[in-house]
Amino acid sequence: MTVDTLDDLLDRELTPAVMRAASEIAATLGDGEVTDLVDRLAPARGALLFRVLPKDRALAVFEGLEAGHQADLISALREADVVGFFEAMDPDDRVTLLDELPASVAERLLSGLDPRERDLTAVVLGYPRRSIGRRMSPEFVSVHVQDTVGQAMARVRARLLDAETVYTVPVVEQGRVLVGVVGLRRLLATEPDTPVADVMRPVESGLVTEDAERAARRFLDRKLLGMPIVDAEQRLVGIVTVDDALAIIEEAESEDQARQGGSEALRRPYLSTAVTGLVRSRILWLLVLAVSAVLTVQVLEIFEATLAEVVVLALFIPLLTGTGGNTGNQAATTVTRALALGDVTPRDIGRVLFREVRVGALLGAVLGVLGFSVATLVYGTQIGIVIGLTLLSVCTMAAVVGGAMPIIAQTLRADPAVFSNPFISTFCDATGLVIYFLIARAVLGL
Angle at 282 between CA 281 and CA 284, to 5 degrees: 95
pTM comes to 0.70
Go through the domains of the chain in sequence order and give each one's CATH number.
Answer: 2-125 (1.25.60.10), 143-253 (3.10.580.10), 274-444 (1.10.357.20)
Mean pLDDT of 328-343: 85
Per-residue pLDDT at 233: 92
Is pLDDT of 427 > 90?
A: no
Partners of 236 in the beta sheet?
A: 230
pLDDT in tens, 195-228: 999 999 998 899 999 999 889 999 988 888 999 9
Per-residue pLDDT at 357: 95
Mean pLDDT of 292-312: 77
Pairing of β 177-183 and β 168-173 = antiparallel
Is pLDDT of 424 > 90?
A: no
In this structure, what DSSP letter does residue 264 have? P
Q: Per-residue DSSP letters for 153-221?
A: HHHHHHTTTTSS-SSEEEEEEGGGEEEEEEEHHHHHTS-TTSBHHHH-B----EETTSBHHHHHHHHHH
